[in-house]
Amino acid sequence: MTTPQTLKGFRDFLPETMTIRNKVISTLKAVFESYGFAELQTPTLEYAEVLTGKYGEEAEKLMYLFKDPGNRAVGLKYDLTVPLARLMTQYPDLPKPFKRYQIQPAFRAENTQKSRYREFYQCDIDTIGTTSPLADAEILAVISDSLSALKFSDFTIRVNSRQILFDLIIKSGISSDKTFTVLQIIDKLDKKPRTEIEVELASKQVDQLQINNLFSLLDTAQPDPKLQEIIDLGIKLGARNVQFSPFLVRGLDYYTGAIFETIVEKPKIGSITGGGRYDQLIKTLGGPDLPAVGTTIGLDRICDVIADLNLWPNLPKSPAQVLVAIFSPDLYSPALKLSRSLRESGVNTELYPNPNIKLDKQLKYASAKNIPFIAILGPEEISQNSIKIKNMQTSEQQNLSLENLKNYLEIRN
């Protein structure tokens, strides 16, 4: 029999990992909801016809498609956008603009690498049903507030517009039928030197004069009035470190207006958000003709970096703040009463379940689970109407009354 293990590209999240993930998710949810975005969830499985024909041939090679027990063609969702388009068609009476956030897993059978998995969590916010620049600006503010709340201090929100890029390509003399090919090549500038990009453009029958014109226009480009309005509104809403970046492209063809990407410099983890305005996509995916703008925040990458670099060293590693130990079998009842009283006071309390285990093993158990305190009720404590509380980090211990113990633990909660 082979050793049991997870499938390639899939992960178990052990309790310490979940502590970080839950903290990140709760932090992001609080920011999203402060702007009025409401949580949405869609099923893990969709009919295959909902998913296929929407992303392109290469993407469909990565889809998990199969027949269910009822012989229906179904698939695991590839992202959160196509299910959103399906939902907007299925529920046409949703109030517009429709502001939603969604934090759920998606599945792609691709080659795995660091922070790239076959089951991964997408964290999306979108505003559907308005072309107002305020909706775009609000996305910038949410990105800024989210990263600030997560204690990422050194970041830059780069913005550009597909309309600016389209206009520059036309002015450079490049034929319009090469627009998306050129944009896909320019999008590699973060990873390749300009000389290699020029060679690749030349291989697509873009002549040297056109290449020179294009880079000259990009080097001197400025925001158009619409993008400048979005930037100004974003800053008024509190967005920090917003920077016009004329070489920002975003790889997907469906963007129609403003595009966004956030680079985190400290810790240096590269791109952490990406999005923009996609006014035709929902209609193209079979939904109603609704404009939309949104972004994805890299939840998995954020969590991996926080864990790898130990960015939150003081984050509690156990949900239990105190372990109530069982001094001896005959003192089981007072321990039960104490654990219940602490929980009723709002203190997360774990009760050791076996009264026959020696106290030193219970102490080791608390240490292994990173429970910060252990409460002990022995004969001496009961005679003095007190409780011994031990700090598992410092080994300091003291005897406190029940009320003082509650205050002691609540202060440290």
| Binding-site residue ranges for L-histidine | 79-81, 108, 122, 126, 250, 254-255
Cα distance between residue 11 and residue 190, in whole Å: 30
Distances (CA, A) of 270 to 118, 156, 164, 179: 21, 10, 24, 26
Residues across the chain: 413
> Tokens 């759920």 correspond to what residue?
104
Q: Which long-range contacts (CB under 8 A, 24 or more apart) does 336-342 make?
A: 338/375, 338/377, 338/387, 338/402, 341/402, 341/406, 342/375, 342/405, 342/406, 342/409
Q: Mind giving me the DSSP string for 109-175? A: ----BTTB-SEEEEEEEEEES---HHHHHHHHHHHHHHHHHTT--EEEEEEEEHHHHHHHHHHTT--
Residues making up the binding site: 79-81, 108, 122, 126, 250, 254-255
DSSP-derived letter for residue 101 is E
Return the structure tokens found at 397: 């211990």
The sign one gets for the Cα dihedral 234, 240, 246, 249 is: negative
Q: Which long-range contacts (CB under 8 A, 24 or more apart) does 375-381 make?
A: 375/322, 375/323, 375/324, 375/325, 375/338, 375/342, 375/405, 376/325, 376/327, 377/324, 377/325, 377/327, 377/331, 377/334, 377/335, 377/338, 378/327, 378/328, 378/331, 379/327, 379/331
